[in-house]
């Protein structure tokens, strides 16, 4: 099977590419490397350094004619979306339309889209289903919700098959230590560098934290199941920021010092997603507990410092074989 992954050099995308290749698939990556990292790109993948909004990206899709496209490339920083809403919309809306049009012309059999729990905004509910009203509290959430609408309309007008996956808060190895979405990585990075941990708000805000390997298995399931569905990928378990810090303290073995600051504009107080639809439609359920996922992520951060220079040297030596002009 021939697959294109946009954002395949990023945190989630690089893990997805690795898994697809391990299953013998022919994988092509579209990534402009603004946030993606070349050292995480699987050497067996075909790498195109290209912007998803460009005509070049469209041409690549039409030339490769993949069986499926995983569209993960995005501007995913909530804070940046509030500060630069046009830039957010250009990437998350216009970029998605560009990829969709190319998929339609290339007769792609499945378009799988990475969406987000941010589409719901600050709904005051214990747990959210896919049928909830969507009132985004940030331009990021709004841009993802708008992209979802374009995907559904492309199916209505052109019968372009799709599955929309709304992720809970994803964490794991390779995640950059920045933004709300990367809060676990931020905490581990601060610990590694010997600094205090800054907590926005009182730390009582809760999220549905899901390990990246569970996200990858859900994406693979979407190749076969969940057509024309919008499905939440989550643990259905809520965990507070303070609880995450307690787990990290236990794993690290040394108490971490917390500095509390004001909440950030656009942040959501509580978010937990029901995963019953994913279990039914995708035949999927998460297998990682928060403790096990954090332990693997901690091990990655501890090992990454010594491995970074070695990986960069290796990847520079093979980059010419991986980047198609």
- Sorting pLDDT into bands at 50, 70 and 90, what band is 324? very low
Q: What is the mean pLDDT of the chain?
A: 89
Chain centre distance of CA 291: 20
Q: How many helices (H) and strands (E) does the chain have?
A: 11, 13
pLDDT at 322: 43
pLDDT at 306: 53
- Return the higher-pLDDT residue of 77 and 112: 112
CA dist 274 and 128 (Å) reads: 6
> What's the chain's length in residues?
325
pLDDT at 191: 74
Q: Indicate if the pLDDT at residue 150 is higher than 90.
A: yes
Q: Indicate if the pLDDT at residue 152 is higher than 80.
A: yes
pLDDT at 311: 46
CA gyration radius for the chain?
19
Q: Is 84 a catalytic residue?
A: no
Tokens of 154: 């492309």
- Sorting pLDDT into bands at 50, 70 and 90, what band is 65? very high
Of the listed 40, 120, 140, 211, which one is catalytic? 140
- Asked if residues 210 and 235 have their Cβ atoms less than 8 Å apart, the reply is yes
Going from N- to C-terminal start, the domains of the chain cover 2-171+210-234+274-288+308-322
Q: What is the DSSP secondary structure assignment for residue 212, as one 8-state letter?
A: H
* Lowest-confidence segment of 31-35, 159-163, 262-266, 283-287 by average pLDDT: 262-266
- Sorting pLDDT into bands at 50, 70 and 90, what band is 178? low
Q: Indicate if the pLDDT at residue 264 is higher than 90.
A: no
- Return the higher-pLDDT residue of 245 and 70: 70
User: 2-171+210-234+274-288+308-322 maps to which CATH number?
Assistant: 3.40.50.720
Instruction: Give residue-wise pLDDT tens across range 29-59.
Output: 999 999 999 999 999 999 999 999 999 999 9
* Lowest-confidence segment of 62-66, 75-79, 195-199, 285-289 by average pLDDT: 195-199
pLDDT at 187: 82
pLDDT at 321: 38
Instruction: Give residue-wise pLDDT tens across range 276-300.
Output: 999 999 999 999 999 999 999 989 9
- Asked if residues 23 and 44 have their Cβ atoms less than 8 Å apart, the reply is no
| Nearest in space to 276 (alpha carbons), one of 128, 153, 137 | 128
First-residue to last-residue Cα distance in the chain: 23
Q: Indicate if the pLDDT at residue 318 is higher than 50.
A: no
Instruction: Give residue-wise pLDDT tens across range 120-146.
Output: 998 888 899 999 999 999 999 999 999
* Lowest-confidence segment of 19-23, 201-205, 278-282 by average pLDDT: 201-205
Q: What is the DSSP secondary structure assignment for residue 38, as one 8-state letter?
A: G
Q: For residue 284, give every residue at least 6 positions away whose Cβ sits within 8 Å of its Cβ, in sequence order, or none.
A: 217, 218, 221, 225, 233, 278
Q: Indicate if the pLDDT at residue 267 is higher than 90.
A: no
């Amino acid at each position: 099977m021939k697959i294109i992954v946009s954002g395949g050099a990023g945190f989630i995308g690089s893990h997805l590419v690795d898994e697809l290749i391990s299953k013998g698939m022919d994988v092509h990556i579209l990534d402009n490397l603004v946030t993606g990292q070349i050292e995480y790109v699987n050497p067996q993948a075909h790498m195109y350094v290209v912007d998803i909004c460009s005509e070049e990206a469209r041409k690549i899709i039409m030339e490769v004619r993949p069986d499926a496209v995983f569209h993960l490339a995005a501007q995913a920083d909530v804070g940046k979306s509030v500060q630069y809403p046009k830039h957010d919309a250009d990437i998350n809306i216009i970029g998605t339309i560009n990829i969709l049009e190319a998929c339609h012309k290339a007769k792609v059999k499945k378009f799988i889209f990475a969406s987000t729990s941010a589409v719901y905004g600050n709904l005051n509910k214990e747990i959210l289903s896919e049928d909830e009203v969507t009132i985004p509290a940030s331009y990021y959430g709004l841009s993802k919700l708008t992209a979802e609408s374009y995907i559904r309309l492309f199916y209505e007008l052109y019968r372009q098959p799709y599955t929309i996956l709304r992720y809970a808060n994803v964490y794991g190895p390779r995640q950059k230590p920045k933004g709300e979405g990367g809060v676990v990585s931020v905490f581990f990075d601060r610990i590694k560098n010997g600094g205090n941990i800054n907590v926005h708000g009182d730390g009582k805000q809760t999220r549905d934290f899901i390990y990246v390997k569970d996200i990858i298995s859900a994406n693979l399931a979407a190749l076969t199941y969940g057509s024309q569905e919008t499905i939440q990928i989550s643990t259905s378990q809520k965990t507070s920021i303070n609880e995450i810090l307690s787990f990290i303290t236990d794993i690290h073995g040394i108490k971490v010092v917390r500095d509390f600051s004001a909440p950030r504009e656009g942040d959501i107080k509580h978010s937990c997603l029901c995963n019953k639809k994913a279990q039914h439609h995708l035949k999927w359920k998460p297998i990682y507990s928060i403790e096990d996922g954090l332990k693997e992520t901690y091990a990655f951060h501890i090992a990454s410092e010594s491995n970074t220079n070695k990986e960069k040297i290796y990847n520079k030596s093979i980059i010419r074989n991986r980047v198609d002009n």
